[in-house]
Structure 1
Amino acid sequence: MTDLALSSSLLFASTHPDPAFPRFHPRPAQGWINDPNGVSYINGRYHVFFQYNPHSARHTQIQWGHVSSPDLVRWEEHPVALVPQAGGPDSAGCWTGVVTSDDGVPTAAYSGVQDHGGHSQVVIARGSSDLVSWEQNGHVAASMPEDPLVTAVRDPFIFRFNGARYAMQGAGLADGRAALLLYSVSDMENWEYQGIWLTTADPVAAVHTPAEIWECPQLVQVSSGEWVMMFSLWLSGDDHEHANGVGHLIGSLSADPETGLPVFSPVSGGKSDLGRDFYAPQIMQLSYGSADTEPAALLWGWANEGPGRDGRRGRTQEEIDDAGWSGVLTHPRVLSVVDGTLVVAPASEVEAYRGASVVAGAAGSVAVPGFAEVLVRGAGSGSVDLVLGSGDEAQVVYSATLAAGEELRIFIDASLVEVYRSGAVATTLRAYPAPGESWTLALPEGATADVWELALPTQ
């Protein structure tokens, strides 16, 4: 593969006819995308799959799209990986799931839906060593539990604990609780159901992760003794609005003294992103730690299009249809836990997109390009406001106060804004510049900003 090929999915973005199309977040030029799937690091490459409808900018006929990278900077777009099989357990869609190495064989485990009725099964597919070609034979590794209390199941996630492989799925129960189902996975093709593992009846979960269904459940270790469990908080009638957003629990994982099965004990939690345009993240466990290293994890999330939220101007469905594309994946994000709090930061690799300096140490009102990275250092009082447009049409897209010593890193990629606050979680937002509109950063007295244009790396 050549360097040019590795950058191809970003190179075409610079000539995309829609000025709102992101240039520094890889995705196909057309079609709908949502949940990141199968994020993995196999055979020296990062792979990110995603829910994908190549035929329109609407959430139907869901397949798996695929991009990969050797370095989280140069991305290559691959052919569609998984497609619904006529008459198979995924005939109504290949939905959210994961990719893992099963004795050296790349293997996808995903929610297959046969009839749009909400009942999914875990379907297995096997991939080539480069994860570009996939064999789908319709094998079902886990069906809906026979327990009548379990009314909805989706989104398998695989994790390891004490040398063994386990999986969980998000679920909804007949009594209105959201739940997790636990499986032992000694054989990828035959998952052993262990029962309901955790529900919103847990007092910590009830406060921090309220939902009717826990979608896209994730479980990763981010420090020696702390595990992060993350959920997308589904409510009936959401229709991609997702008012409860994404939440997480922080706790410990221990072995049940009788069964040896993992037991998750949450002690705290919170929102995993403070923006209304963020949902369905997937986390990849890079390492489980050793005597010399801390465990590490990377997260990707989905930023959807929409009618505008929190006073921001959005796009109508007609405008989305005319544009021919919908949905963006965030930058890869590094997770850590500091003093019992989840901290989310951009992966250091994205600094490769930092181009020419626009201004350094600026104060007051600062003009910001439409493709930019901004570093704000705070002091004094007052708010930092990121404003799109001017006059009566101006929108305050993001506003925050900063204490002395705090920093904000802001990435603007056409219509996608990601804000990373030191010591906290991120904020993901969508905003659509009208023709002639530009960005301005309004700083309080004592705060300064460095601004860079974003640029593709030359090699």
Structure 2
Amino acid sequence: MKILTLKIALLLTTAHFSLAQPALKAEEYRPRYHFTPPKNWINDPNGTIYANGEYHLFYQHNPFGNEWGHMSWGHATSKDLIRWQHLPLAIPEFTSADGKSQTAIFSGSTVVDKNNQSGLCPVGTKDCMVAIYTGNVSAGGKQTAQYQNLAYSADKGRTWTEYAHNPVLDLHTKEFRDPNVFWYAPGRKWLMAVIKPTDHQAAFYESVNLKDWKLLSLFGPMGDTTRVWECPALFEVPVEGSSAKKWVLTVSSGHRQKNYLAMQYFVGDFDGKTFTPQRQNEILYVDEGKDFYAGIPFNDRPTNRRKPIMIGWLNDWEYANKIPTTPFKGAMSVPRELSLQNTPQGYRLVQTPISLAAFRKKVTTITNMTVDKPTPLGYAGESYELEATITVGSAKKVGIRLLKSGAEESVLTYDTATQTLSFDRTHSGNVTFSDRFPSIESVRVAPQNGRLKLHLLVDKSIIEIFANDGQRVMTDLVFPTKHEGNIELFSDGGAAVFDALTVWEVK
């Protein structure tokens, strides 16, 4: 057995703690309150868990460069999910003993094995933290295998040891990845959801010791199969207005109508063996923007918290390596609390960002403002939270221009005739690095008693949009070349009333 952190961790900087990361030079697109690494590439969140009084975020990371490669697990911890302490690399890519192959550390999850029942950690370990990840094996520059491995930590995730008898689950295929493991209390066992990507299937396994796994069932193909499936998660979500819960299965894949990557979800029942969706032919998406992917919930949240919390990677594989950020590339969403609404169309996911109240300062508030032409708000900034309630009135279109510097702007528009909310980033700044980046994304949002509610998280290069209390969500990156950061309200074809609008600067 070997300590995985030794070779690479010594090359990295020591722990770094800050909300705004002031120890680094302030880069043009570094967000203030969204997680980013100190430097280099990141993608999928991994191993998200609450343990020993802190949240752990592991993530796909290239410790050597600002593009995808040398996949390893980065690591950070937090008490509040906003301020993060960066820790040394957790589990690095490693080379076989004969030097002929490399194993990259692909996506996975972590669990806490109470009292070390698996025997993985040294005798006497109270809580053994276990990582279950995909080992992606390559030789001569070609991928040769994907299987599931274990690593374990007896010191709260600070150092990791590879299990001597890896792999623990191997189908002898090149496409089998992203295990998501959790403790299933009714059956007193561990459950794993893992993906067979090209088969568009989620496979469910059980284990009593984390080392020996038995197949329970397969789910799929179903829903959107336009792209390979990745990064599954199976978890219970409370139904609003009741004490009921339903099971939700999320899968990262594609968006059939919009032809880009996205996350889809299925709502149904799980009996400890088989997941049964509520409707066979339903296709539902977590986020209708282009830049939310591979989201997973945090395991083992405190028992007094009913709602699961999900965090996702903010980028898109169509241009992920090309986005103009340095010395880092990639960010995570503000974590989102999840619930379900029981609607006439079936259960629907509701997402609301965790509270930023402890980090914000109110700077602008308006009430009952009638808007029938472009109206500057009188606030300029690039990292803020905005909430608005709008009575659409006689307007044909009403909206907000964000991060506006002259003709450079990111535009959120509501069309009252079609009841669609659109986000236009075609004139948002630097859009030339990829022909797949300029876009206008739309989603249907029905008004509530003639009103539209918006909750926006704007953070330098990130815009997260929550409509009607999180019933619809869009997330998109933007890269302004000018930084006046103005906000402008507008209405076309009639007047709309901004019943209430508040902007908080986020520190």
TM-score of the superposed pair, with normalisation by structure 2: 0.75
Alignment of 1:140-289 (within 5 A): 140-145=166-171, 152-161=175-184, 162-163=186-187, 164-173=189-198, 177-194=199-216, 197-200=218-221, 205-206=222-223, 209-223=224-238, 224-233=244-253, 243-254=260-271, 261-267=273-279, 269-286=283-300
* Bigger shift: residues 101-110 or 162-171: 162-171
Aligned 1:298-337 pairs, distance under 5 A: 298-304=309-315, 317=322, 319-320=324-325, 323-337=326-340
Asked if 1:369 corresponds to 2:384, the answer is no
**CA distance, structure 2, for counterparts of residue 316 and residue 294 of structure 1:** 37
SS in structure 1 opposite 2:90? coil
Give 5+ residue unaligned stretches, structure 2. Answer: 1-13, 115-126, 239-243, 415-420, 422-444
Matched, 1:19 2:31: no
Q: Which residue of 2 aligns with 1:111?
A: 134
Amino acid at match of 2:363: S
The correspondence for 2:454, drawn from 408, 432, 438, is 408
Q: Which amino acid aligns with 1:408?
A: L
Unaligned runs of 5+ in 1: 236-240, 256-260, 309-314
Partners of 2:406 and 2:35 lie apart in 1 by 33
Per-residue CA deviation, residues 415-438 of structure 1 (Å, 9 max, x unaligned), is 011112214142111111213442
Larger radius of gyration: 2
Structure 2 Cα separation of the partners of residues 398 and 119 of structure 1: 47
Identity %: 23
8 Å CA contact 2:113–2:130 kept in 1: the answer is yes
The one-letter code of the counterpart of 2:202 is L
Shift of 1:220: 0.7
Asked if the contact 2:399–2:412 (Cα under 8 Å) also holds between the matched residues in 1, the reply is no
Matched letter for residue 153 of structure 1 = F
Q: Would the aligned equivalents of 2:408 and 2:480 in 1 still touch at CA under 8 Å?
A: no
**Which digits, 9 at most, give the CA deviation of each residue in 1:350-406, with x for residues without a partner?**
222212423343844324411111011121243323333344444426663754454
Contact 2:45 / 2:294 at 8 angstroms: preserved in 1?
A: yes
Counterpart amino acid of residue 123 in structure 1:
N
Query: What letter matches 1:100 in structure 2?
Result: V
Change beyond 3 A, Cα 1:180–1:391: same
Q: Indicate if the aligned counterparts of 1:285 and 1:296 stay in contact, CA closer than 8 A.
A: no
- Alignment partners' CA distance in 2, 1:306 and 1:64: 19
- CA distance in structure 2 between the aligned counterparts of 1:352 and 1:324, rounded to whole angstroms: 28
Mapping for residues 349-360 of structure 1, pairs under 5 Å: 350-360=356-366
Tell me what 1:96 maps to. Answer: 107
- Give the structure-1-normalised TM-score: 0.82
1:238 corresponding residue in structure 2: none
- Equivalent of 1:446, from 477, 497, 500? 497
Amino acid paired to 2:277: S
Task: Please list, as runs of the form range in 1=range in 2, the aligned pairs for 1:73-88 lying within 5 A after superposition.
Answer: 73-87=82-96
Conserved? CA contact 1:233–1:242, under 8 Å: no
> Is the Cα contact below 8 Å between 2:151 and 2:160 reproduced in 1?
yes
Distance in structure 1 (CA, Å) of the matches to 2:165 and 2:486: 51
Q: CA RMSD in A?
A: 3.0
Q: Do residues 51 (structure 1) and 98 (structure 2) align?
A: no
- For 2:82 and 2:35, the matched residues in 1 are separated by 9
Provide the rounded CA distance (Å) in 2 between the counterparts of 1:30 and 1:288: 31
Q: d(CA) in 2 for partners of 1:25 and 1:294? A: 22
Instruction: Give the conservation status (yes or no) of the 8 Å contact 1:397–1:431.
Output: no
Query: Contact 1:90/1:138 (CA < 8 Å) preserved in 2?
Result: no
Q: 1:359 to 1:119 in 2, by over 3 A?
A: same
Q: Counterpart in 2 of 1:312?
A: none
Cα distance in structure 2, aligned partners of 1:190 and 1:90: 25
Bigger helix share? 1
Work out whether 1:70 is the aligned partner of 2:79: yes
C-alpha contact 1:231 1:246 (8 A) present in aligned 2: yes
- Cα 1:288–1:372 change in 2 (3 A) is closer
How far does residue 74 in structure 1 lie from its aligned partner after superposition? Answer: 2.8
Go from structure 1 to structure 2 and tell me whether the alpha carbon gap of 1:7 and 1:353 turns closer, same or farther (over 3 Å shift).
Answer: farther
Tell me how far 1:187 sits from its aligned partner: 1.6
The CA deviation at 1:191 is 1.8
Aligned residue pairs total 416
Say which SS state the counterpart of residue 378 (structure 1) adopts. Answer: strand
> Is the aligned partner of 1:346 residue 2:392?
no
Query: Does residue 384 of structure 1 match 2:390?
Result: no
Change (3 A) 1:131 1:151: closer
Q: Which residue of 2 aligns with 1:311?
A: none
Q: Tell me the SS of whatever aligns to 1:352.
A: helix
117-126 vs 137-146, greater mean Cα deviation: 137-146
The more displaced of 65-74 and 156-165 is: 156-165
